[in-house]
Chain A
Amino acid sequence: MDLISDRGRRVSVEELNTSKLLAHAAKQARDRKFEDVMIVDCDAHHYENEHMSEILPFMENEVFKQLAMAAGAKGSRGAVAPGTFGYQDMGGRVTRYPLRASEKTENNRVRDVQLGERWMDAMGVDYSCLFPTGMLNIGLHPQKEMEFELCWAYARWVTEKVIPESGGRLYTMLCLPFSDPEGCLRMVETFGDRPGVGGFMITTVRERMAVYDNAYMKLYRAIEERGLALSFHSGPNWGSQTFQSCNRFISAHALGFSWFNILHCTNWVVNGMGERFPKLPVIWIEAGLAWIPFLMQKLDHEYLLRPSECPILKKKPSDYMRDMFYSSQPMEIQDMGALETTFRMINAETQLLYASDYPHWDFDLPSTIWDLPFVSEKAKHNILGGTAARLFKLPPRNDGQKQNLIKFGNLKAA
């Protein structure tokens, strides 16, 4: 296939085959004997927006369903789901974006499951938490009714058509229609007990989001009492007022992922959500790690000066932050000393969860954790999968993994 390069020049590259593209990852997995290490990828993606014709029929409200399905018809100018600006593929430099449609799969199995198996097998990943891609922008939809309908339809489709076909290797944390608190609660009550649902996810790509609002307390309680996780998935929003002065995508991207987690994590902590729901596992996803030491220091500093503004807290903000979980990707690895300090500050041995973010452009392989020189063997096993195995009750896939889970105290579900 040809890719468009400079001045319209065409460059021939092979059609996409994920297994072939990731052949070097497979070599890394063999060299490191990952077969005996249980690896859980807490943040992988599929392109659900390429399956809207399958998803939209699951919408409940007939009027919104008709609007959505008509908008997808040929010749329509309609747009069902919101999008954001940007160049994730860097002009085709990350070739799996423009080549994605060229990848061949078997007709008799769910395409996204086949693609998931290819990248999991190549990386040595045993389980992946599957998140959508386009739906991460659902919080930008101006209609809360449509936000609910699309989240509902996706939840039905992914739990009824996709996850069940994965042989237990894919699980998910379902996207919540956060603009609709009652709708969120209904989602938890409806889907919370379904196989393959490890929790619920709130995309932080929103213009307004009050995580502390009383309207959400029933929702958090419902997730907590089911033993499920609540995750906040970050993302860039170049169109946001905050980033209007960024003239390069790199700026909006680098700041956006960090900023939205910083914003909502701050609100979560200073409003004492950790005191209110101490047994609710909260995971902050896809903002990397560098923002966490900054926020810990900043909030601890101001808390000692202004405790009257957050009287619910019984310990420092950083202590509450250390009670929460963080996904590893995209791990800022340029300054190894800074990264080591970050691991210490977040208590990575028990609070850090490996994530690839595959197939997105800045994915991390398991070797990014395994090869770190300052991390203990126990911490490597915990981060790569042991902690997630306990959190999501995932069993080992072979005896070598089982022995390692036992060795490091992570065998819960087997």
Chain B
Amino acid sequence: MPEQFVCKSSEFKNGERQIIRLGEDEVGVFKHEGEYYAYSNYCVHQGGPACEGLTIAKVEEHLRPDKTSMGLSFSEKDMNFVCPWHGYEYDMRTGCHVADKRIRLRKYKVVEKAGDVYVVA
């Protein structure tokens, strides 16, 4: 499987992203809480640069046992990234749209070798 060099591990900081070309595709590579995630940079909605926008914690709304709402809050564990064209919001760990898991970006494997980060085609 061909691999595409992204950058040196030491230069890739948590919370950052890199956009690389991989054949015909553009790929967004994120480093989040020490893990790497890579997805096609073409939004499944209208083709926007899905990986180039804001990263933001998932917004949640929890209910009490009596079904009253506790209001809106940011998730403590789930991070999303958002296509800057229209706001399609994807789960950082899965690449699935947060409102419909059937909508998902193509996911790529990321490997670390000898201090370098690669995306596997």
Residues in chain A within 8 A of chain B (CB atoms): 3, 5-7, 11-14, 21, 23-25, 27-28, 90-96, 361-365, 367-368
Contact = CB atoms under 8 A, between A and B. Distances in A.
Number of chain B interface residues as a range:
20 to 34
B53 A13 contact: yes
In the A-B complex, the 8 residue pairs with the smallest Cβ-Cβ separation, listed nearest first, are A6-B57, A95-B84, A93-B82, A6-B74, A93-B87, A5-B56, A24-B47, A90-B87
Contacts of A6: 56-57, 74
A93 B48 contact: no
B15 interface: yes
Nearest to B69: A247
B53 A93 contact: yes
Contacts of B89: 93
Contact of B54 (A25, A28, A95, A363): A95
Given A7-B74, A11-B55, A93-B54, A25 B86 contact: no
Interface of B: 15-16, 42, 46-49, 52-57, 74, 82, 84-87, 89
Contact of A5 (B47, B52, B55): B55
Given A13-B84, A367-B46, 18 more contacts: A5-B56, A6-B57, A6-B74, A11-B56, A23-B49, A24-B47, A24-B48, A24-B49, A90-B82, A90-B87, A92-B54, A93-B84, A93-B87, A93-B89, A95-B53, A95-B54, A362-B86, A365-B47
A7 B47 contact: no
B85 A91 contact: no
A21 B48 CA distance: 8
B47 A367 contact: yes
A364 B47 CA distance: 11
Given A24-B49, A364-B46, A367-B46, A7 B87 contact: no
A368 B55 contact: no
A363 B87 CA distance: 11
Contacts of B74: 6-7
A103 to B, nearest CB: 13
